Amino acid sequence: MSTPTRTGTSVSMTVNGEQVDRHVDPRRTLSDFLRRDCGATGVHLGCEHGVCGACTVLLDGRTARSCCTLAVQAQGADITTVEGMADGAELHPLQEAFWKHHGLQCGFCTPGILLTVQELLADNPDPSDEEIREGISGNICRCTGYQFIVDAVRDAAAVLRGEKATEAE
Amino acid sequence: MAERFPSSEPVSGDSRQGDYRHSRVVGASVPRREDPRLLAGRGRFVDDIALPGMLHAQFVRSSEAFAEIVSVDLSEVRAVPGVVAAYAAADLDLRDITALLDRPAHEFVPTAMPVLARDTVRYVGEPIAIVVATDPYAAEDGVEAAVVEYAPREPVVSDLGALAEGAPLVHPEAPRNTLVDVSLFATEGIDALFEAAHTVVEVHTKTGRQNALPLETRGVVADWDDRDEQLRVQTCTQVPHQVRTVLAACVGLAEKQVRVTVPDMGGGFGQKCVVGREEIVAAAAALRLRRPVKWIEDRRDALTAAFLAREQRYAVRAAFSETGEILALDADVVCDMGAYSCYPFTAGIEPLMASAEMPSVYTVPAYRVRGRAVTTNKAPTAPYRGVSRPQYVMVMERVMEKAARALGLDPLEVRRRNLITVFPYTGVNAITYDPGSYRESLDLCEQTLRDEGWFDRRSDGVIGIGFACFSERTGYGSGAFAQRRMQVVPGFDLSEIRMDLDGTVSVTTGTLSHGQSHETTMAQIVADRLGIPYDRVKIVQGDTDRITYGWGSFASRSITIGGSAVAAASVKLGDQLREIAAHLLGGDPAAAVLEDGGVRLEDGRLSFPEIADVAYLRSHLLPKGVGPGLAATASFDVAGDGTFSNATHGVVVELDPGTGGVEILRYVCVEDCGVAIHPQVVEGQARGGIAQGIAGALFEVVRYDDAGQPLAPSFMEYKVPTAAEIPDVRIEHLETPCAFTENGAKGAGEGGTIGAPAAVLNAINDALRHTGVELDDTPIPREAIFRALEAS
């Protein structure tokens, strides 16, 4: 749907394991690129100035605010969005934990928080509650009051460490 | 006294509940049906919708707080590459939005809100023109090319400024900038009570303007469908039918020519329970262009130009006996409602709520109140979670604290002497309170904090403990709204239920879930009534073509009223199933039992698919007088004053003398919302509400400068608390079932937000007790805490 433009430029990247080659405006944000050119509408836009964290994606394995990144800056990158977390119909243990612990209400902030937590647990597989709170303090959730999110992260960490079976209720 | 029983025990207002077995899904925290799609990023929010040939809209908005529009020049806009159209008010000719109260002229001044500003702009951010382009980036380019010439006027930027002698008039028809001015109750002899009283305490408080701040901003996709001859509007709203009515009137279509549907929605909290101007304009543009138009509000507009809330000023006196009994309450409430009345609630929403309900959970024998809504050159306001109750509860809880101090009594003891304990209780405010656990919740909250050892840790200047006792009126039926004298009277809910051939059920609700879990909880209610698993029930919501009429979700009405309508429809469908089964098997329908997906009679059992097979495919076998199909309709309303949830919050804070900072060390919430359909969801509502209440107490405020420019246009200035600021909350449940909702449930959506500001404020004042300083405004300025501690 983008306006044809003479200033367009080519970008290539991998999005959830699929190679994507497109021609885009240089000013097109990565979030718009993912949502509108790649169909990854799980990337949500809550503020478009890098504070709320809803647009968080993994860029070469590290979290990035896709609203404050241009698509052209992600040239050659490997991008994971929330759509890339589940294994087919099988939810990721982190997603299962959020389901079990009511870690989401409206679900709008959830994709960004899931990816933030994925990075957090990769860096620190056994975080304290305080470390979890610190780890997600760059993401705004307006619904939950955060406690059930912290519960979910603690539980998911135990599952991912292999200390506990996934409980898909 | 509160009745207590295990929440697994089903409760129903339906007298026939003993006729069939409940599967007891109500009361269980079953897995939410909403979650798999939302967790996988497969929810469908309004910005996820893309239609062929869709255009994108943005708005030219006022840069002035108060000005005459001299000219709007959109010629440069139309020349911007990608821009397809640009319309100002004169181009679209849309009817104004006007919300009305049935009150005399001295109590209410009706004002019109033009859909696009015509001659006058009344706040920074007011929409003046819509720009429609092939791409959102081009639409923003177009907005920048607009040239608007203003003749600025002196703006009115505060409530006191609005009321001042000789103040400029925001609306010329509203003298003293007053849209609502009611004086209520005025118990005879109240002045004498004050004169004779042992002690009179005063509370003067001002609460900050806040943004309800759903994380998903507002947005709409509209297109004209030639086949259905309909304007299809997919929009972020809590009130789809009201949007349909206003939109149809504004653009001049019949109601049946407008279909409003609501996709997944990223929160609302009240901001989306009024009709927005932008959704009307975007739809009008789609109608004009015969092309789909999408508008997604950006965060700056959401922070400055969306509906705000909560800016109120109270001057309150309360008379007490020597032993701490409240004798009289005299209040003056001024609400700064901003530039326009919202539809359908009007600018009366806040002052009328505060005036009617301020006596709160206390036996106030004499009461007088004046409630006013003033109009200012700020973004208009809408109901926001709690609506005035966070403020008047804060006032009443400060009243109790100040009385205790003045009388040398324990503040919890003063509360106990005044709490309503005999129910039903009809107050001086003419409201009847149904049974609750006011006293019990305070006792348990205090005991919990004592048992945890917090009372031993209280210390001057460092650690303080604060409480808030309150109720939350929920299930506002048409009776309660009619008392407000709204011309449009919300209240009832209507449900249509249908069983299909395979025994699955779909049921409509006029309520609308946007985070509250109704796809799960409403299904639980149906499951119990019919004896089927809850995942065999589909909830149909948010569609004006599929739902006859609905009032949407606000005011904690969904489970109380919507859930009751769903239950009543289920019972009717159950009756049909039993009648058909009894006819086919031989037997008495009254003895038939719905269970395990079928009907059991003495002489056998028929599954729902077997009954549906007859109802639809072999209708010649149906009993005489029973028509084909399996469907029923029921409605529910609350004739009286609604049902009151209640809670006590207890908070422990630690002050930082170096910065004036506040850390919440402990938060205990003892809540009673009657029968919890899904206890985990109730806890989620409470915790989320408490986070928003803490936000109002400590962090969030929309300020304006003297020129009326909003000073918090981004999340860098508008401080939304994160996981680092919001504490864990211990929740204890009490259960006083509601006698007249079908499930014994009371509403649970707003309580957390209502109690938190008062409890936090009281805790801070407790820690400051030795300084003699009392802080009564929110958000509580860190600087004031710092100075109080420094001076001591």
Pairing of the two strands B593-595 and B537-540: unpaired
Instruction: Answer yes or no: do A142 and B214 touch at CB < 8 A.
Output: yes
- Single pTM value for the model: 0.95
| pLDDT in the model for residue A145 | 98
- Mark whether A38 and A105 lie in a shared domain: no
Q: Regarding the domain delimited by B385-475+640-791, which CATH topology (the fold level of the hierarchy) does it fall under?
A: Aldehyde Oxidoreductase; domain 4 (3.30.365)
The lowest-confidence range among B142-146, B243-247, B452-456, B550-554 is B550-554
Q: Write down the CATH number for the domain with range B11-31+492-636.
A: 3.30.365.10
Query: What pLDDT digit, counting tens, does each position of B165-224 carry?
Result: 999 999 999 999 999 999 999 999 999 999 999 999 999 999 999 999 999 999 999 999
Residues of A in contact with B35 (CB under 8 A): 98-99, 104, 107
- Mark whether A101 and A68 lie in a shared domain: no
Domain end position, chosen among A32, A57, A84? A84
Structure tokens of B537? 């029930």
Distance CA(A124)–CA(A133), nearest Å, equals 13
Strands of the sheet containing B661-672, edge to edge, are B463-474, B643-656, B661-672, B730-734
Residue A51 lies in a domain: yes
Contact predicate B217/B295, CB 8 Å: no
- Mark whether A15 and A76 lie in a shared domain: yes
pLDDT confidence band for B259 (50 / 70 / 90): very high
Distance CA(B692)–CA(B720), nearest Å, equals 9
Best of B141, B215, B730 to mutate (most A CBs within 10 Å, chain A): B215
| Residues facing B472 on adjacent strands | B645
- Mark whether A99 and A150 lie in a shared domain: yes
Domain end position, chosen among A54, A84, A114? A84
Domain end position, chosen among A65, A84, A103? A84
| pLDDT in the model for residue B6 | 27
Instruction: Answer yes or no: do B515 and A143 touch at CB < 8 A.
Output: yes
Q: How many domains does chain A have?
A: 2
Residues of A in contact with B715 (CB under 8 A): 47, 49, 51-52, 140
pLDDT confidence band for B529 (50 / 70 / 90): very high
pLDDT confidence band for B753 (50 / 70 / 90): very high
Instruction: Answer yes or no: do A143 and B35 touch at CB < 8 A.
Output: no
Structure tokens of B601? 């009679």
Query: What pLDDT digit, counting tens, does each position of A45-93 carry?
Result: 999 999 999 999 999 999 999 999 999 999 999 999 999 999 988 999 9
Structure tokens of B730? 């211990």
- Mark whether A112 and A148 lie in a shared domain: yes
Over range B265-283, report the average pLDDT. Answer: 97
Compute the mean pLDDT over every residue in chain B, rounded to the nearest whole number. 95
Say if residue B66's pLDDT is above 90: yes
Distance CA(B787)–CA(B776), nearest Å, equals 15
Residue A63 lies in a domain: yes
Query: What pLDDT digit, counting tens, does each position of B419-449 carry?
Result: 999 999 999 999 999 999 999 999 999 999 9
Q: Whose structure tokens read 């403990």?
A: B465
| pLDDT in the model for residue B12 | 34
Residue A137 lies in a domain: yes
B265 near A CB under 8 A? yes
Q: Where in chain B is the domain with CATH 3.90.1170.50?
A: 47-153+218-296
Residue A2 lies in a domain: no
Nearest alpha carbon to residue B180 among B66, B242, B100, B126: B100
| pLDDT in the model for residue B590 | 94
Q: Where in chain B is the domain with CATH 3.30.365.10?
A: 11-31+492-636, 385-475+640-791
Q: Give the residue numbers spanning the domain of A51.
A: 9-84
Q: Whose structure tokens read 């990035």?
A: A64
| pLDDT in the model for residue B131 | 98
Which residue in A has a C-alpha nearest to residue B39's C-alpha?
A95
Distance CA(B443)–CA(B437), nearest Å, equals 10
Distance CA(B83)–CA(B140), nearest Å, equals 9
Over range B266-293, report the average pLDDT. Answer: 97
Residue A55 lies in a domain: yes
pLDDT confidence band for B5 (50 / 70 / 90): very low
- Mark whether A65 and A33 lie in a shared domain: yes
For B314, the 3-state DSSP assignment is: strand
DSSP 8-state secondary structure symbol assigned to residue B271: T
Residues of A in contact with B54 (CB under 8 A): 1
CATH number at residue A139: 1.10.150.120
| pLDDT in the model for residue A71 | 98
For A70, the 3-state DSSP assignment is: strand
Which residue in A has a C-alpha nearest to residue B296's C-alpha?
A45
In angstroms, the Cα distances linking B557 to B472, B475, B517, B745, B753 are 11, 5, 14, 11, 16
Residue A56 lies in a domain: yes
Complex ipTM, two decimals? 0.96
- Mark whether A14 and A77 lie in a shared domain: yes
Q: Write down the CATH number for the domain with range B47-153+218-296.
A: 3.90.1170.50
Contact predicate B650/B446, CB 8 Å: yes
Amino acid (1-letter code) at residue B27: G
Say if residue B288's pLDDT is above 80: yes
**Counting one residue from A and one from B, how many pairs have CB atoms under 8 Å apart?**
189
Distance CA(B91)–CA(B381), nearest Å, equals 27
How close B780 comes to chain A (CA, Å)?
A: 20
- Mark whether A101 and A136 lie in a shared domain: yes
- Mark whether A46 and A105 lie in a shared domain: no
CATH number at residue A34: 3.10.20.30
| pLDDT in the model for residue A167 | 55
3-state helix, strand, coil in chain A (%, to 5): 35, 15, 45
pLDDT confidence band for B603 (50 / 70 / 90): confident
- Mark whether A80 and A98 lie in a shared domain: no
Over range B50-55, report the average pLDDT. Answer: 98
